[in-house]
Structure 1
């Protein structure tokens, strides 16, 4: 069961964070302040899905790893404190702050500074979670090793 929960929860978490990020970026670039306010106030409600999915991903990952800490598993484990810390210390407080500012229609310099910081931190988490997903797929044999390019390799004589 853990082998099913881990990839499912990880994929849902990554898709949820990417949805938050894209919704924010697109609304800021192309929509009205009312739409931005709607997006920013909806994101904290998404935490009701995101936080359990991240917890399930982390918990099931540690169960699947058992005592192994080398190779791709070690790389995934080393990324997790940065992902969790970024989420808990930066992304959640920023999202709550931005939701309150947007609800009050306070689109000032502070709002946009925090918004920029949140987008950068969110992009970092998307990249880190994507790397973890890539490494998980490699461990499952879903990615094959690259074959050398036949045109650039020298024939063996």
Structure 2
């Protein structure tokens, strides 16, 4: 049961991150400022899905890895710590800031600087989540390699 919760939480977190990232890029490239503001507001609301999903994935992953060693466990743990730090220190504050600026119609240089940082950090988070999925599949034997292989 714990493994299913881990997989579901991780998948939900990854899909939520992907939807935030792609909707931000799409709206910036192809839509008007009102649409940008709407997406930024939706992303802030979506944090109430993303944050618990990331926490659940991290907590269940830590529980599942108790008593296990190896490079895959160490890499997944290190990535989750980085993901959490990026989320708490950059992504959540950036989402709130961008929503505030977009709602006020202040899409200026600072808005786009923070947007660029957020998109870059978001791409890194997505990459790390995908790598964690790959390593989780290897650990479970569903993908080639084993606990200590790359």
Pairwise same-fold verdict (TM > 0.5): yes
In structure 1, the partner of 2:36 is: 36
Q: Distance in 1 between matches of 2:29 and 2:69?
A: 42
| Structure 2 partner of 1:6 | 6
TM-score with structure 2 setting the length: 0.93
Find runs of 4+ consecutive structure 1 residues off by over 2 angstroms.
none
Match of 2:131 in 1: 131
Offset at 1:117?
0.5
Deviation at 1:21, TM superposition (A): 0.3
Per the alignment, in what secondary structure is the counterpart of residue 95 of structure 2?
A: helix
Offset from partner CA, 1:54-108 (integer Å, 9 cap, x none): 1110110011001323221111011111110000000000000000000001010
1:17 counterpart = 2:17: yes
In structure 1, how many angstroms separate the alpha carbons of the residues matched to 2:138 and 2:73? Answer: 10
Offset at residue 143 of structure 1 (A): 1.8
Q: Does residue 95 of the first structure (1) align with residue 95 of the second (2)?
A: yes
Q: Which runs of 5+ in 1 are unaligned?
A: 146-157
Structure 2 unaligned spans of 5+: 146-150
- In the alignment, the residues of structure 1 paired with residue 104 and residue 83 of structure 2 have an alpha-carbon distance, to the nearest angstrom, of 30
Residues matched between the structures, number: 145
The CA distance in 2 between the partners of 1:24 and 1:101, in whole Å, is 14
Separation of aligned partners in 1, 2:21 and 2:69: 31
Deviation at 1:2, TM superposition (A): 0.5
Between the aligned partners of 1:66 and 1:144, the Cα distance in structure 2 is 22
Larger Rg: 1
Counterpart-to-counterpart distance in 2, 1:102 and 1:141: 46
- The match for 1:64 is 64
RMSD: 1.0
Q: TM-score, normalised by structure 1?
A: 0.89
* Contact kept? 1:27, 1:39, Cα under 8 Å: yes
State the alpha-carbon separation in 2 of the partners of residues 55 and 123 from structure 1. 19
